[in-house]
Amino acid sequence: MTELAHTKITALITGASSGIGYELAKVFARNGHNLILVARNEQTLNQLAGELRAKFGITVKVILKDLSIITAAQEIVDELGQEAVSVDILVNNAGFDVYGNFYETDLNRELQMIQVNLVTLTQLTKLLVGDMVKRRRGKILNLGSIGSFASSPLNAVYSATKAYVLSFSEAIAEELQGSGVTVTCLCPGATRTEFQKKAQMDDIRLIKRGVMNADTVAQIAFRALMAGRRVVVSGLYNQIQILFLRLLPRAVIVKLSKFMLQRA
């Protein structure tokens, strides 16, 4: 058995080197959880791991992995299996965006995005949830978006992946009812991270209003996960948006989505 195996609850967080994932790692650490941090940025992950070990007295394992590679999920689970590490909480946070008109965007990047946002998330969940059910305890947090609720011109493939995440999360949450395992889908709106800059979206209308800090979103997500909530939309502004999305005709929603995603 390794040092991560099992005096404390262990959470695996993908995309832990920045943004919401980075802040979630700190929230879990403050609450005494051991961590498995997965991302590609070795320097940032190792620095974060060192800080969390020193400050909170937890154990932290770093796994460097490109989640756009189809074998990544299996490789992660195989490595944990070799070290007899069990995952009590799975946080499928990793994801990225490709912004622009679909006929102009890069297909390879979009296929990588589908792999990270959707396929690897599904694979990791599939590979880990069975053991959670056998132990009759576990939690899964999947990262959706307010884009999960609406088709989004200029963000067509991204929002489609997030619609899948929401639908998938709600469905398996119902399947798992009574098993001791809960599934929560976090649906944040615009959040102050490197996400938008990397996607070249930092000047769109959506980013100009109602932007939340990543640490606030992470705290909301953690509380919802611990409470076993199925869907949580972070922030009042985003909750109001979702209310309107549920009331308006889909044709109107698509036009509003395009307006909000256009450059200001």
Query: For residues 3 and 60, is the Cβ–Cβ distance under 8 A?
Result: no
Annotated catalytic residue within 162, 197, 237, 258: 162
Given a contact cutoff of 8 angstroms between Cβ atoms, the answer to whether 170 and 215 are in contact is no
8 is a catalytic site residue: no
Answer for the pair 182, 140: CB distance below 8 angstroms, yes or no: yes
Question: Which is nearest to 195 in space by CA: 89, 47, 93?
Answer: 93
Q: What is the CA radius of gyration of the chain?
A: 18
Q: What is the maximum span of the chain, computed from C-alpha positions, in angstroms? A: 56
Q: Kindly give the pairing relationship between strand 231-233 and strand 191-192.
A: unpaired
| Type and span of the H or E element at 45 | helix 42-56
Phi and psi at 185, nearest 5°, equal -110, 115
Q: What angle do CA 4, 62, 188 make, to 5 degrees?
A: 100
Q: How far is 34 from 5, CA to CA, in rounded Å?
A: 9
Nearest to 139 by CA among 95, 96, 186, 94: 186
- The answer to whether residue 158 is catalytic is yes
In angstroms, the CA 84 to CA 53 distance is 20
Distance separating alpha carbons of residues 238 and 61, to the nearest angstrom? 34
Annotated catalytic residue, options 158, 197, 198, 237: 158
Q: Which residue has the tokens 């990225």?
A: 96
Residues that are catalytic: 158, 162
